[in-house]
Structure 1
C-alpha cells in the first residue's frame, strides 16, 4: 500500500482475527491490502443509494463484533439501509456488498448461514449488492441456489431478480445521437506554429468562453439539472473539433445509441475521479 489507511490498526487487527494470531507477515500484509481495497466498494454503493433518491438512511456497520464467539454464528453485513419503496413504504434491510468480475458469484455455505442468522436475529431481510464491471445488482440472499458445495448466482439471474429499481429507484435510459456537451475556446494569443505533413499546426493560448449541451435534435441547452449534467459526463462521447479565426469548439457527442442504467453514471464518475493519469475530454485543458 502506497498510502497508509487512516484505520490501519483496525485493519491489522481484523486481519489477525481472520487469519489467526500466528499468521506470517506476508499473509497479514496481503489481507490488510485486500480489506483496504474492499472498503471503498461499500462507500460507492452507499453513495448510489443516496443519489437515486429513495434511500432514507444507509449506515455502514462496523465489522468488530463481540463477544468473539458470536463470529461462529453470525456474519454482520456491510450496511443497514432503509428505503421508501413504492407500494411497501419504509423498508429496512441488511446489505452485504460484493465485487466479482466472474459470471458467477459464489458464497460458502457457512458464510450464507451466518448472514441468514444475523438477518433472522434482527428480523431483517439480507440482500446482496453485487458489482460486476461497473454494473450493480441487488438481490435477496434466497435467490442464490445451492450447487455441489457453495451457493451460486450467475449475473444474468442477478440482473433479472435485481431490486435496484424497486428499492433504490434506479432506471434505464438511452442517450440520443447528437446529444452531448460542447466547449468553446476563444483564441487570445498565438504562441507558435509548426509546419507538418498535414499542414500548419498552430499553438494558441485560449480561454473557455462558453459551454453548452445539445439534445438529439442538436438544439442548444443551458439550464440542465445537476443530475442531467452528471449523466452527460458519464457517457462515452466522441470528440471532434471545429475551427474559426477566433475560436476552437470541442464537440463531445453521442454517435451511437445504447441503453444505460442511471446508477452507472455515478459509478463511472467515481471511477473517473480515481484515474488522474488518464487523458479524457472531461479534464481537457486549453493551452
Structure 2
C-alpha cells in the first residue's frame, strides 16, 4: 500500500478475525489490501444507497455475536438502512449483501431462518441485495422460493421484484443514438512528416478551438450543464475522426439504443474521475469528495431528456409489493 490507511490497526484486526489468528503473513497482507480498497460488497452498496438520494442512514452491523450459542438461532445481516421510500415514507430495513454470477442465488434453509429470526427480534424486514455482473437488485427475503432443499431466486425474478427504484431512487435511462460530445482541433503548425509502411504520418501542433454536444437529431448544443455532461462519461461512446486541411474533429457518439441503471453509471463515473480500473469503494466511503461532485445525477438526466439526448427515463415499480410496505 502506497499510503498507510488511517485505520490500519482495525483492518489488521478484522483480517485476523476473518482468517484466524494462525493465518500466514501473505494471507493477512492480501486480506488487509482487499479490505482497504473496499472489496467488501457492503461498501459499494452503501455508497450507491447514499448517492441515489433516498437513503437517510446506512451502516454496517457488527457481526461478532455472543454467546456462541446465539449463532444457532440468529444471523446478523450486513447492514441497517433507513430509506425515504417512494409512496411509503420513512422505512427502516435490514440488508444482507450477496454477489453471485450464476443465474440463481441459493440460500440454505437454516441461513434463511436465522436471518428471519434476527429480523423478527428487531421487528424489521430483511432484504437481500444481490449483485450480478455489476447490476444490483434488492428484494425481500420472502421472494425466495423453496426448491428441493434451498431457497432460490433466479435473476429474472430478482429484477422483476427489485426495490432498487422504490427504495433507493434508482432509475433506468436510454440515450438517443447519435447523441455525443465533439471536440474540434485546429491545426496550427506542421512539426514533422514521418514515412511509415502505411504511408506518411503528420505530426501537428494543434489547439482545441471548439467543443459541442449533439442530441438524437444531430442538433448542436452548447448550453449543457456540468451534471448533464456526466452522461457522456458514464456511457461507452464510439470515437471517429474527421480530417480537413485545417482541422481534426473527434466525434464521440452513442451508436446503439440501450438502457442503463443509474447505479451502474456511478461505477463508471468514479472510474473515469479516479482514473482507476477498480473503484476504491472504501476510500470513497471515508472521503466522499468525488461522490459529491456527481450528486443530483437525476437532474442531469432530466435535462438531457429535454434536450433530446435521452429518449426514456423509467422509474421501475416491483411486480409484487412486499407485504410489510402495505402495513406502513
| TMscore range, shorter length | 0.7 to 0.9
Asked whether the 8 Å contact 2:38–2:44 carries over to 1, the reply is no
Aligned residues: 278
Asked whether the 8 Å contact 2:52–2:170 carries over to 1, the reply is yes
Match in the other structure for 2:184: 184
Match in the other structure for 2:252: 252
Counterpart-to-counterpart distance in 2, 1:74 and 1:31: 26
Match in the other structure for 1:96: 96
Asked whether the 8 Å contact 1:54–1:167 carries over to 2, the reply is yes
Deviation of 1:76 after TM superposition, in Å, equals 2.8
Counterpart-to-counterpart distance in 2, 1:106 and 1:27: 28
Asked whether the 8 Å contact 1:230–1:265 carries over to 2, the reply is no
Deviation of 1:29 after TM superposition, in Å, equals 6.3
Counterpart-to-counterpart distance in 1, 2:230 and 2:237: 13
Deviation of 1:22 after TM superposition, in Å, equals 5.2
Distance 1:183 1:114, change over 3 A: farther
Match in the other structure for 2:261: 261
Counterpart-to-counterpart distance in 2, 1:238 and 1:210: 19
TM-score normalized with structure 1 length: 0.80
**Any idea what the Cα deviations from partners look like across 1:24-66, whole Å, max 9, x if unmatched?**
6677667666656764532322222233222222233344455
Deviation of 1:102 after TM superposition, in Å, equals 1.5
**Any idea what the Cα deviations from partners look like across 1:213-255, whole Å, max 9, x if unmatched?**
2110112223334443222211111100122344322111011
Matches within 5 A, 1:52-201: 52-65=52-65, 70-201=70-201
Unpaired runs of 5+ residues, structure 1, are 279-287
Counterpart-to-counterpart distance in 2, 1:18 and 1:205: 56
Counterpart-to-counterpart distance in 2, 1:190 and 1:273: 33
- Greater mean deviation of Cα atoms: 133-142 or 43-52: 43-52
Match in the other structure for 2:233: 233
Asked whether the 8 Å contact 2:182–2:252 carries over to 1, the reply is yes
Counterpart-to-counterpart distance in 1, 2:66 and 2:211: 55
Deviation of 1:133 after TM superposition, in Å, equals 1.1
Counterpart-to-counterpart distance in 1, 2:68 and 2:6: 24
Deviation of 1:158 after TM superposition, in Å, equals 0.7
Deviation of 1:101 after TM superposition, in Å, equals 1.5
How well do the aligned residues superpose, as a CA RMSD in angstroms?
3.2
Counterpart-to-counterpart distance in 2, 1:111 and 1:227: 43
Counterpart-to-counterpart distance in 2, 1:36 and 1:150: 33
Asked whether the 8 Å contact 2:188–2:205 carries over to 1, the reply is yes
Deviation of 1:16 after TM superposition, in Å, equals 4.6
Distance 1:60 1:220, change over 3 A: farther
Distance 1:99 1:64, change over 3 A: same
Look up the SS of the partner of 1:42 in the other structure. helix
Deviation of 1:89 after TM superposition, in Å, equals 0.9
Unpaired runs of 5+ residues, structure 2, are 279-328
Counterpart-to-counterpart distance in 2, 1:242 and 1:187: 13
Counterpart-to-counterpart distance in 1, 2:35 and 2:277: 25
